[in-house]
């Protein structure tokens, strides 16, 4: 079946502008995660949604970052008043959290954000 998809694949914006990044998880997956990966760096956790529970926002770097997940499916990550240090690849992942409660996370292709 279809994997995790993200759009746009690339986004170039000017400093100070707002951007929205979209993630479509695998159908039926209850958990959705956002990560940030700067060039040559590791995976920085941003936020985690699980079903109808309150999201774990502990990784969001500032109040300019927010995310929502509508209808338990599609998620949007919004960055307000973008700064150059926001330039990175933003990765989304989803998992089913089935009976074992620790299922595999499947990653999307990412959105490469460049802030000029």
Q: Which residues bind other proteins (CB under 8 A)?
A: 31, 33, 41-43, 45, 48, 50, 56, 91, 95, 97, 100-110
Minimum Å gap between C-beta 115 and other proteins is: 20
Residue nearer to other proteins on the CB measure, 83 or 104: 104
Per the CB < 8 A criterion, the answer to whether 101 and 51 are in contact is no
CA atoms within 13 A on the CB side of 87: 11
Nearer to other proteins, 75 or 105 (CB): 105
Sheet holding 75-79, edge to edge: 5-7, 19-24, 75-79, 65-69
> In whole angstroms, what is the distance from residue 75 CA to residue 44 CA?
18
Among residues 36 and 82, whose Cβ is nearest to other proteins?
36
Least Cβ distance, residue 16 to other proteins (angstroms): 28
């Amino acid at each position: 079946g279809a994997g995790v998809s993200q759009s746009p694949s690339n986004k170039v914006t000017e400093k100070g502008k707002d951007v929205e990044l979209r993630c479509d998880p695998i159908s039926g997956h209850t958990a959705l995660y956002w990560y940030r990966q700067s060039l040559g760096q590791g995976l920085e956790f941003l936020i985690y949604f699980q079903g109808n529970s309150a999201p774990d926002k502990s990784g969001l770097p500032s109040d300019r970052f927010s995310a929502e997940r509508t209808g338990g499916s599609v998620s949007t990550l919004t960055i307000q008043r973008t700064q150059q240090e926001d330039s990175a690849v933003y990765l989304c992942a989803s998992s089913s959290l089935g009976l074992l409660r620790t299922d595999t996370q499947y990653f999307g292709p990412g959105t490469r954000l460049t802030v000029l």
